[in-house]
Amino acid sequence: MQATLARQFIKDATGQPVAVLLPIEEYALVRTLLERRDQELAAQMHDMQLAANDPLFLADLHETMAAFEATDVEWWEHAA
């Protein structure tokens, strides 16, 4: 008799699903998508690291922050 494995959902303390264990046959179907996602996330992280040292990006960031400074002061809740 051959054992049948089903998906196993892993939940956090609040009961929200956070992971799933897949039978190998199902994993094989999604493996390339997961690997592509990892590569895309690594590329995005690299871009963010470059931006953190890019003078034009930082100047634009500071300009945008200054433009919204008055609105931010109105929006944020102030501590009593």
**Global confidence as pTM:** 0.55
8-13's contacts with Cβ under 8 Å and 24+ in sequence apart are none
Q: How confident is the model at residue 80 (pLDDT cuts 50, 70, 90)?
A: low
**Hey, which residues does 19 pair with through a beta bridge?**
10
Question: Angle at CA 32, nearest 5°, toward 31 and 33?
Answer: 90
Tens of pLDDT, residue by residue over 28-59, are 999 999 999 999 999 999 999 999 999 999 99
pLDDT at 79 over 90: no
Q: Kindly report the CA angle at 43 between 68 and 62, in degrees rounded to 5?
A: 20
Are 20 and 10 a contacting pair, CB within 8 Å?
yes
Q: How is the chain split into domains, by residue range?
A: 23-75
Q: For the residues 21-26, what does the mean pLDDT come to?
A: 92
